[in-house]
Chains A and B, each alone.
Chain A
């Protein structure tokens, strides 16, 4: 069930929060030995929360749409009294004494936190083949990666274990697993959702957001999460607007930009076809498709990589004498970042500012942009390259269409838009100016309705 359906059922008393939790725990027990989507399942504390949610609702204390709904959070979010590993051997025994701001807000909204999802080690990678906690598998095909770094969240949502799981996104880590697992993934604008209490990877690129089974559930979750937090120095004071689109969803006369360059280059034909079909549906719904020529996205990606390498290595420097405690891929990235001169980092941030101005000009031509999320559907576990007009590292290919958006801080939404020839889900990405989350959620809801794919789930 979606959050909306669950919320309605709870208020009609056709189901209780305890029953919903038991259903969720049952599904996790049945499937997680295959999927490895969870690192920790908090049965006892979740039961206490669910019982409290039922009592509160009976007493007329309604905390909103997430009230009594079982959810999960990536193991990068601190949870008081519950193991928070960041998918790493370094933090294998870390039990925080506090909740992250996201977890605080979820609890305040009445959500029942079922557990902590598996992820790429330290959120530093896109495969979620975690050497310490097992490889997360894709519910659509168990020999495929779930994507990452929020792979456990993508897998758990797609497999129907929970209707929402939180992720973090530094270079695509919410949107990539959403696309590969056939889920919806929302990366809000930088500063919209507090990073307080999240084990950091990259101070100026980390974003927090939900993975859900439908666009409206992402909107409902953002309603609960968005807002200023003085404990996060990058938190925005901009007012929060309601994110759930008004019904019926209207996108008439909206200018949807379709990039002429970069985003449809070196993309598999099935992905390009699915995204263009979605664009056509938007046009049929009254939107105006606008061809848009973008500044050089490759430059944006290069800057993103340098900032990521430098900031992540700075964050992890205290642990670098424990080389044996890192997976080989993560250690290689940390070593790369250690060697970068400080001048490169500062200059990358200078170029970033220059590119922010250049890319912002795009919004004179269009209200939002529609692109593929990833160039292909989910690669196989262990696959190292993708061949699209030449070989490309799986990690670079998976992040190619999403990484730059973290540099810009724009909000981005990925939602399923079709299936490839092997029956694997394909994702599209909607982009808008900073703090225009309501717009991308409205367009996403309209496309989701038109595509009619929200009811298709993997057969497990």
Chain B
């Protein structure tokens, strides 16, 4: 399912002028095509990367 980026923009960023929005939407559509398939590899219990502390400990990476 592809997102309707223009409707999202109308809802939360209506100040983006139409010609600029066209370009923004093109970029987001292309990014979405790359990003969404990655989510199929994500285990249900996957945690986000730790930012605080910044880096997983070496023992966690082994």
Contacts and interface: CB of A to CB of B under 8 A. Distances in A.
Interface of A: 189-191, 203-204, 233-236, 298-299, 302-303, 305-306, 320-321, 323, 331-332, 335-336, 338-341, 344, 346-354, 356-357, 360, 409, 434
Contacts of A204: 49, 51, 54
9 contacts: A234-B54, A235-B54, A236-B53, A336-B27, A347-B39, A348-B35, A352-B48, A353-B50, A409-B55
Interface string B25-36: 001100100110
B54 A332 contact: no
Contacts of A302: 31, 34-35, 38
A360 B35 contact: no
A331 B15 CA distance: 12
A93 B60 CA distance: 45
Interface string B46-62: 11111111111000010
Contacts of A234: 51-54
A233 B54 CA distance: 8
Given A204-B54, A339-B13, 18 more contacts: A189-B55, A235-B54, A298-B34, A303-B38, A306-B35, A321-B15, A336-B27, A336-B28, A339-B5, A339-B9, A340-B28, A346-B48, A349-B51, A350-B47, A351-B41, A351-B42, A353-B46, A353-B49
Given A233-B52, A332-B24, A305 B13 contact: no
A346 B48 CA distance: 7
B18 interface: no
A351 B49 CA distance: 8
A375 to B, nearest CB: 19
A405 to B, nearest CB: 13
Nearest to A363: B61
A306 B49 CA distance: 14
Given A306-B35, A350-B42, A434-B55, A339 B49 contact: no
A351 B39 contact: yes
Given A302-B35, A303-B38, A354-B41, A335 B61 contact: no
Interface string B1-26: 00101001100110110001101100
A236 B31 CA distance: 32
Nearest to B17: A323
Nearest 5 pairs between A and B by C-beta? A349-B48, A234-B54, A191-B54, A352-B49, A353-B49
A406 to B, nearest CB: 12
A332 B47 contact: no
B37 to A, nearest CB: 9
B13 A338 contact: yes
A204 B55 CA distance: 10
A181 B38 CA distance: 36
A305 B12 contact: no
Contact of A332 (B8, B13, B20, B49): B20
B15 A323 contact: yes
A354 B54 contact: no
A341 B53 CA distance: 25
